Amino acid sequence: MTDTRRTIPSDQAVPPLFAGIDLGGTNIKIGLVDDRGALLGYQSVPTEIHEGPEAGARRMADVVRQIADGAGIGMANVARVGLATPGTMDIPAGRLIKPVNLPGWNDFPIRDRVSHHCGRPVTYANDADAAAYGEFWLGAGREMHSLVMLTLGTGVGGGIIIGDLSIAGEHSHGSELGHIIIDIGPNARMCGCGQTGHLEAYCSATAVVRRTEEALQAGRASSLSAAIAGGAELTALLIDQHAEREDPLAVEIVDETARLLGIGIVTLLHTVDPSGVLIGGAMTFGREGSPVGRKFIERIRQEVRRRALPVVAAAARINYAELGSDAGFFGAAGLARADFHRKPE
């Protein structure tokens, strides 16, 4: 992962300047960038969900102001603020609806409250869409004209960027790529959303753990059994470690996850036909740094080559994302920048 914390002095900044806020259930990450995406300042603060959304909006504005002041710039020189939050949300209305990861923050006009406390206009986006835009602007997609990004974590998130346009959808449900259907068979898996056969039901970290548990319960031999008996928790990280040591079950789980992800990607390639597909998120073996991760992405590419229409199979670029958990605030700032350059205020 790039060291995105390295900031530039404010006298080297190319105006206009933009702040990006990535609001998560645990932390709020906030960065101030210039027009090229160079970082002028950064802070991560705890979300403090229990204090409620109004206090949260005020704290976000305070941190943006601190960063701007610390860089010797001042809030008045921040052209626009980008705010990314988890769903469910109403993007045109600027409201959190029922965000599962922010209990108690339901039905809150977060865009306008952050704008009020900042005194600056705010662009509002879904966090997975913002992460995709961050990679598009400054990360693994910076040479691409369009991209699809899949974020593998507890769930499977998605973002689609086409020529500077983030596909947020007409009802704030665009790019819900964890919920594309890959299996209509009688044994299709149950998704966290209550439906069956969704990509997320196969390829999230949660699903990977569940599939492994099922195999162990069915009596499959694996070095994981001894580890679990010894007190280890069965996680995607543990499966990654055992796959690295060539445990056959762990290797098979990783391989099958890549195969299923490749199938979902083929559907997305035949829908969007983007310059490339990026894999991001916290799931351990879905990462550049992991030795297993290299096999994982190669297996995805193999499945795509096998299943996509010939032109698409030959052209598709499938790579890991680069910005890690910084993609969200960079992307939020980038979406604010795109709005600004479209229609300056």
**Contact map string, positions 118 to 147, toward a copy of itself, x by CB under 8 A:** ---------------------------xx-
Q: In terms of CB distance, is 41 or 141 closer to a copy of itself?
A: 141
Decide: is 257 part of the binding site for a copy of itself (CB under 8 A): no
C-alpha 125/C-alpha 132 separation (Å) is 11
Integer-rounded Cα Rg, in Å, for the chain is: 21
CB of 178 to a copy of itself, least distance (A): 8
Contacts with a copy of itself, 153-192, as mask; x by CB under 8 A: -------x-xx-x-xxxxxxxxxxx-xxxxxxx-x-----
Residue whose C-alpha is closest to residue 226's, from 204, 241, 208: 241
The site string for a copy of itself over 70-89 (x = CB under 8 A, - otherwise) reads ------------------x-
| Cβ count near 233 (within 10 Å) | 9
Q: Which is nearer to a copy of itself, 2 or 271 (CB)?
A: 271
Provide the β-strand partners of residue 124.
83
CA atoms within 13 A on the CB side of 179: 8
- Sole window of 13-21, 43-51, 133-141, 265-273 interacting with a copy of itself (rule: CB under 8 A): 265-273
Residue in 51, 270, 291, 298 binding a copy of itself, rule: CB under 8 A: 270
Amino acid at 169: G
**Sign for the pseudo-dihedral over CA of 285, 291, 292, 297:** positive
Q: How near is the Cβ of 88 to a copy of itself at its closest, in Å?
A: 7
Sequence-distant (≥ 6) Cβ neighbours of residue 121 within 8 angstroms: 80, 81, 115, 345
Which class for 230: exposed (0-12), middle (13-18), buried (19 or more C-beta within 10 A)?
exposed
Nearer to a copy of itself among residue 22 and residue 129 (C-beta) = 129
> Within a 13 Å sphere around the CA of 209, how many CA atoms are in the beta-carbon half?
17
Which CB, 33 or 268, lies closer to a copy of itself?
Answer: 268
Specify the residue for token string 């998560």: 24
Among the residue ranges 38-46, 281-289, 292-300, 310-318, the one whose residues contact a copy of itself (CB under 8 A)? 310-318
Q: Using the minimum distance from each CB to a copy of itself, give the nearer residue, 109 or 169.
A: 169
Is 307 near a copy of itself (CB under 8 A)? yes
Side chain identity at residue 231, one-letter code:
G
- Give 158's strand partners: 150
In angstroms, how far is the first alpha carbon of the chain from the final one? 35
Stretch that binds a copy of itself, among 34-42, 77-85, 127-135, 269-277 (CB under 8 A): 269-277
Site residues for a copy of itself per CB under 8 A:
88, 145-146, 160, 162-163, 165, 167-177, 179-185, 187, 193, 195, 260, 263-264, 266-275, 307, 309, 311-312, 315
